[in-house]
């Protein structure tokens, strides 16, 4: 019978682990995760900051790696106020780059190829160029080999007129 008593004393049941211990364990886990998030944001901010020189970046990075708790605390106290501003400036620059890329892609890779085709169509409708000249000029515009600034001038093929 003593053998059964020893076996049951070694097993832990759910009610053997108090609720307050669960709370503290979850809190400590949350704080560790938040600290690592803060550490990586600080490392990213060190590399993002254009005001810091190379040696200053190396010094802050060494401080945050060698003495992580002290380094993070000192960095947040010394440079934490502008971390958000630098992050917002980087996000705006990325958004502007993305918008410029979308505008370029929407324009067909070239600047104003849609406008060029519309002008060529108008010139053909007026009768200033033939259908063959329009076809060749359209191929030039669509291939990206120099959209004509003045359709009907130097970039259009000679038609013998």
Per-residue pLDDT at 31? 94
Q: Which of 71-75, 90-94, 104-108, 139-143 has the lowest mean pLDDT?
A: 104-108
From the CA atom positions of the chain, what is the Rg in Å?
Answer: 34
Q: Rounded CA gap, 28 and 31, in Å?
A: 5
Q: Could you tell me the pLDDT band of residue 161, with boundaries at 50, 70 and 90?
A: very low
CA angle 124–126–128, rounded 5-degree value: 65
93-100 mean pLDDT: 90
> Is residue 153 classed as helix, strand or coil in its secondary structure?
coil
User: Do residues 144 and 109 make contact, with C-beta atoms less than 8 angstroms apart?
Assistant: yes
Which tokens in the block code for residue 73?
Answer: 């605390």
Report field, pTM of the whole predicted structure over 0.85: no
SS percent in the chain: helix, strand, coil, step 5: 75, 0, 25
Residue with tokens 């600290």: 35
Mean pLDDT of the chain: 79
Per-residue pLDDT at 30? 96
């Amino acid at each position: 019978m003593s053998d059964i008593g020893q076996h049951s004393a070694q097993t832990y049941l759910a009610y053997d682990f108090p609720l307050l211990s669960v709370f503290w364990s979850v809190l400590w886990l949350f704080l560790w995760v938040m600290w690592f998030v803060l550490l990586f944001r600080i490392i990213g901010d060190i590399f993002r900051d254009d005001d810091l020189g190379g040696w200053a970046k190396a010094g802050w990075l060494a401080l945050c790696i060698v003495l992580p708790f002290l380094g993070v605390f000192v960095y947040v106290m010394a440079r934490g106020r502008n971390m958000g501003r630098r992050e917002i400036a980087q996000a705006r620059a990325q958004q502007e780059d993305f918008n410029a890329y979308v505008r370029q892609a929407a324009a067909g890779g070239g600047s104003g190829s849609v406008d060029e085709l519309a002008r060529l169509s108008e010139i053909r409708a007026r009768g200033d160029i033939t259908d063959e000249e329009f076809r060749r000029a359209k191929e030039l515009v669509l291939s990206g080999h120099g959209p004509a600034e003045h359709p009907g001038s130097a970039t259009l093929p000679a038609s013998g007129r």
